[in-house]
């Protein structure tokens, strides 16, 4: 159950934590039990999950922007309907995830305000622009493909509400990836210009997509405790390798070239990619990507322009509640 109101007492646990409770908690996690909102949990577990789930939610919401850019310019009605449904799904995913994050004790309003204030992060991949229609195909195929790779293990995350939200999300993501690949396939079977457009999109997205899995294992800050708490089941590098191995044959089928001339296949069949340029990742994370300012500005504008709707709905509900109270008193 996702009941926010029941979580308020938990704040008292912060600071001095009972070692016995912490050991009991870890034993439950080790036994693959799910932790539920009203169960005792270490303050750091709560904090880590609030950060991770809310960032995940922000990513879904900001992720609507690069794709929304092409809804009015989709090449056919079929593509337009599919893209519209996909963008609606992303919004839905954001809402499931905000609900899961809220069970940890922060309100959605607080979480959204932190994102709008630039204090909370979202996935860096959405700070890249969608320049052509082929970018929409590439996002579905690769960005959603990478997201699925990340999210499938999260369906078994130790925190119940997050795991359950992920199960719903994963069911829906499969459509996203397939519609993206179909766009790519159509372009690759089309004219030379269309195929070149597909190749150009792959060239621009490939490296940023590999960065989606996060820093290399040797330098990742959050991995150790997240693994201990069974929030994370595979390391960044493991998931990245799984993704590359799954994607190379798909690119070959399309007749596209992965923009990594140094890539080789090892004896075990794994595709070994070249060194990733982590300075680019750090730059985009620090706010200097091609679209960081645009994305936040668009979210703020939407939030501000929707303020009168939220106010009107609240005023109407308050009026109805007053009327009901008055009628009951008569």
Partner 1 sequence: MATPNTPLWEVFIRSRNGLAHKHVGSLHANDATMALQAARDIYTRRGEGLSIWVVPSTAITASDPAEKGMMFEPAESKIYRHPTFYEVPEEVGHM
| Cβ proximity to partner 1, 49 vs 284, nearer residue | 49
Q: How far is the CB of 156 from partner 1 (least distance, A)?
A: 19
| Cβ proximity to partner 1, 60 vs 135, nearer residue | 60
Q: How far is the CB of 147 from partner 1 (least distance, A)?
A: 18
Q: How far is the CB of 167 from partner 1 (least distance, A)?
A: 11
d(CA 143, CA 219): 23
| Cβ proximity to partner 1, 105 vs 129, nearer residue | 105
Q: How far is the CB of 317 from partner 1 (least distance, A)?
A: 4
| Cβ proximity to partner 1, 253 vs 316, nearer residue | 316
Q: How far is the CB of 97 from partner 1 (least distance, A)?
A: 10
| Cβ proximity to partner 1, 218 vs 307, nearer residue | 307
CB atoms within 10 A of CB 127: 24
C-alpha distance from residue 252 to each of 169, 178, 273, 293 (Å): 28, 16, 15, 36
| Cβ proximity to partner 1, 65 vs 112, nearer residue | 112
Query: Which residues lie near partner 1 (CB under 8 A)?
Result: 1-6, 36, 38-40, 85, 88-89, 92, 95-96, 99, 102, 107-110, 112-113, 164-165, 168, 172, 310, 313-314, 316-317, 320
Closest listed residue to residue 134, CA positions, set 86, 37, 199, 88: 199
**What string of H, E and C letters represents the secondary structure of the chain?**
CCCHHHHHHHHHHCCCCCHHHHHHHHHHHHCCCCECCCCCCCHHHHHHHHHHHHHHHHHHHHCHHHHHCCHHHCCCHHHHHHHHHHHHHHHHHHHHHHHHHHCCCCCHHHHHHHHHCCCCCCCHHHHCCCCCHHHHHHHHHHHHHHHHHHHHHHCCCCEHHHHHHHHHHHHHHHHHHHHHHHHHHHHHCCCHHHHHHHHHHHHHHHHHHHHCCCCCHHHCCCHHHHHHCCCCCCCHHHHHHHHHHHHHHHHHHHCCCCCCCCCEECCCCCEECCCCCHHHHHHHHHHHCCCHHHHHHHHHHHHHHCHHHHHHHHHHHHHHHHHHHHHHHC
| Cβ proximity to partner 1, 32 vs 275, nearer residue | 32
| Cβ proximity to partner 1, 168 vs 242, nearer residue | 168
Q: How far is the CB of 328 from partner 1 (least distance, A)?
A: 17
């Amino acid at each position: 159950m996702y009941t926010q109101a029941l979580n308020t007492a938990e704040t008292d646990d912060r600071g001095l934590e009972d070692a016995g409770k912490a050991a009991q908690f870890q034993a439950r996690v080790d036994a693959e039990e799910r932790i539920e909102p009203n169960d005792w949990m270490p303050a750091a577990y709560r904090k880590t999950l609030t950060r991770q789930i809310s960032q995940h939610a922000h990513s879904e919401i900001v992720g609507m922007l690069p794709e929304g850019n092409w809804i009015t310019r989709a090449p056919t009605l079929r593509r337009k309907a599919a893209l519209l449904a996909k963008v609606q799904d992303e919004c839905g995913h954001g809402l499931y995830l905000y609900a899961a994050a809220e069970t940890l004790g922060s309100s959605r309003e607080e979480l959204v305000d932190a994102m709008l204030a630039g204090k909370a992060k979202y996935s860096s991949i959405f700070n890249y622009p969608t320049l052509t229609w082929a970018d929409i195909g590439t996002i579905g195929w690769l960005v959603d493909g990478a997201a699925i790779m990340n999210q499938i293990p999260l369906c078994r995350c130790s925190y119940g509400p997050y795991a359950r939200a992920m199960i719903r999300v994963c069911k829906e993501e499969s459509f996203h990836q397939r519609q993206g690949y179909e766009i790519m396939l159509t372009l690759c079977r089309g004219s030379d210009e269309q195929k070149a457009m597909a190749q150009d999109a792959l060239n621009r997205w490939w490296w940023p997509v590999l960065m989606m899995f996060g820093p290399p294992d040797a330098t990742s800050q959050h991995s150790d405790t997240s693994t201990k708490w069974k929030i994370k089941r595979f390391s960044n590098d493991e998931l990245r390798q799984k993704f590359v191995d799954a994607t190379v044959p798909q690119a070959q089928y399309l007749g596209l070239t992965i923009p990594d001339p140094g890539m080789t296949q090892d004896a075990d069949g794994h595709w070994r990619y070249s060194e990733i340029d982590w300075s680019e990742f750090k730059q985009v994370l620090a706010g200097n990507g091609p679209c960081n300012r645009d994305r936040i500005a668009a979210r703020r504008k939407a939030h501000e322009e929707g303020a009168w709707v939220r106010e009107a709905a609240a005023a109407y509900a308050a009026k109805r509640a007053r009327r009901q109270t008055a009628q009951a008193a008569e």
